[in-house]
Chains A and B, each alone.
Chain A
Amino acid sequence: MRFLFKTDYEDDIKLFPHSGYVATYGVLLALLLIAPYLLSSYLMSQLVFVCIYATVGVALLILTGFTGQASLGHAAFLAIGAYTAAYLQKYNVPFPVYFLAAGVLTGIIGAMVGFPALRLTGIYLVIATISFALIVEEILARWESVTNGNEGMRVKTLSLLGVTVPRDSPTFYYLCLAVLVLTIVGTLNLLRSPTGRAFVAIRDSETAARSMGVNVALYKVKSFAISAAITGFAGVLFAHKLSFISPEMFTLQLSIEFIIVILIGGAFSLHGAVLGAIFIVMIDPFLTYLKDDMPGIIAGIAATFGASSATAGNIQSKVAAFASLNGLKGAIYGVIIVLFVLFEPLGLYGRWLKIKLFFQLFPLYKRATFKRQKIYVKSERNR
């Protein structure tokens, strides 16, 4: 077990606390860089989605995980980014310009949402962000001169510095990866700066933060703006990846998916955003795999336990019928959310930390280390 001795504040805020970090993340980055030569084109496409979802996840973490402001409206920010890109592209604006423009515009709108949200906490904020997202969705469907309404907009192939970058080329993947890595590094830097410290202070106790001299209103708006801007950047990539956007892609469902990303990943660390994005994007192919192969496997197990071939075939067809039921995916989603909230509130990254600690402390690991403190609900009305 490694003990880190910190002698001053600079030690505490180092990006890489010890050399192990450099090695592991270096290897990970190298693997990601050679991934296009190893993985199939389908998996590469999924990996691009992982990058985009993880970028949104990081954005949401800044707002929800570190500033403590829940948002169920991030699909709207993603939509604004995507539509800005698609609209500016019609006027032959080059990629770097509309990429930045999308981020800036989304950031401004985020600040405009954040400003009224100052007065809201908890459930009211959640409801307000849902309403914002629903209104944006309706505007996208109705403002036909700009958004082309429900018919949606076609997004032309990305062209960067005169080179066209098709949406399934390795270059596009590298672009998404670069955006993700830059976002993560930028966020890490943000979080160790006074701004980031102020965010965390607001999350932990608004009253305490205010009495320590943190301008709560300013930092909340900042947090909204930064989070929205990053989501806007991700929106541009999202639009290019899908090559076609329409209002029904940016529904409440998508906002909930983004929240699930950080919920399942773990809402206290940037690792959570990436792990959650991998989970959300990979669950689809995984379910398809289960649907195709599970009936055969179950029938095989039944046969090994002495079932006759007729019964095994019967079981196989029954399981297959169950697996292809309509809406099974929704049920699985729901169960996963509930199970994570109930049994793994720290998410996948929390589980990883627990496993790591188990081996570090073996045989002295105590489950109570990660036990949550119960806070008995006191009425918000009197708080």
Chain B
Amino acid sequence: MLDFVQQLVSGVALGCVYGLIALGFVLVYKATEVVNFAQGDLMMLGGFFAFTFIGMMGLNYWIGFAGAVAAMALFGMLAERVVVRPILGYPQFSIIMATIGLGYFLRSIAGMIWGTDDLKIETPFSQGVLRMGSLVLAYDKLSVIAATMILCALLWLFFNKTTLGTAMRASSENMLAAYYMGIPVKRVVSIVWAISAAVATCAGVLLAPITFIHSNVGLVLGLKAFPAAVLGGFGSIPGAVVGGVLIGVIESMAGFYLAEGWKDVAPYIVLLAVLLLKPEGLFGLHVRKKV
């Protein structure tokens, strides 16, 4: 039983990271119906930025964290401006390829700048543990869970309660109509990319104590975030996090209870099952296809 709870908590913590990356997918998807295959790499880059600010320049953890988020938000805008905006409105597949190209580029640039070693960020909560009876929970894992919940709530409020959020939802429904209604669609898309890069950075920094940062971390985790986003129903903010947590728990349970090898494929088997049985996901909207 104790093992089960330990596995559950580490699964939830890992799942929250998947959820945060999936949140990035969902944000961009909600606003532009584009899937950003470089989302994981934005996370990796955010982690490296934070490492530069905290580990190399010796800034305070929170200042470094905020600095990395701000820098990555700007970077997200830049990436959108250079790579995505010129082809916005063209077939989805071109944009997918463009973001795959962006991912390649970011991975190798990061490898050139920061080397190929695993890097570690010292955090205020990387040491302690929370003891509840015989249950031992590490603070770094709990911090990931807490931060994810807060971010998720904030983003949900932002999308559903603010004017800007409404504008984003409108441009995701129909860009042309949103434009006619006076919404500056290009700026909206640019802001969405900034937010999703910022969320990715949060994931990267929170992940740093758990799995370390290296230039390929984004690819590995980014691929795991797809099942999360699909399970939650691509396009739903709480869905992404719930999906992420489910995938994380499934993965960690499969690693503990099933034979070796299942751990890596379990998320994808779940993904295929979801796509076959309930393609709209857990929280997706069921809509009929119009002709």
Contact = CB atoms under 8 A, between A and B. Distances in A.
Interface string A239-280: 000000000000010001001100100000000000000000
Nearest to B91: A375
A122 B95 CA distance: 12
Interface in B27-44: 29, 32-33, 35
B105 A338 contact: yes
Contact of B230 (A127, A256, A341): A127
A330 B275 contact: no
B97 A259 contact: yes
Contacts of A70: 93, 96
Interface stretch (B70-78, B80-88, B145-153): B80-88
Nearest to A252: B223
Given A119-B276, A128-B272, A379-B172, A337 B97 contact: yes
Contact of B97 (A325, A331, A341): A341
Contacts of A377: 32-33, 88-89, 174-175
Given A327-B108, A331-B112, A372 B261 contact: no
Contacts, number: 157
Interface in A125-176: 126-128, 130-132, 134-135, 138-139, 141-142
Q: Could you tell me the dominant secondary structure of chain B's interface residues?
A: helix
B268 A135 contact: yes
B107 interface: yes
Q: Could you tell me the dominant secondary structure of chain A's interface residues?
A: helix
Interface string A360-383: 000000000000101111111111
B166 interface: no
A98 B279 CA distance: 38
Contacts of A338: 83, 98, 101-102, 105
Contacts of B100: 256, 337
B96 A123 contact: yes
Interface string A289-300: 000000000000
B76 to A, nearest CB: 16
29 contacts: A126-B93, A132-B272, A134-B264, A135-B265, A252-B223, A327-B109, A327-B112, A327-B215, A328-B112, A330-B104, A330-B107, A331-B104, A333-B101, A334-B102, A334-B104, A335-B101, A335-B105, A336-B101, A337-B97, A338-B98, A341-B95, A341-B98, A342-B83, A342-B87, A345-B94, A378-B174, A378-B175, A381-B285, A382-B287
Interface of B: 29, 32-33, 35, 83, 86-98, 100-109, 111-112, 116, 172-176, 215, 223, 226-227, 230, 234-235, 260-261, 264-265, 268-269, 271-272, 275-276, 279, 285, 287, 289-291
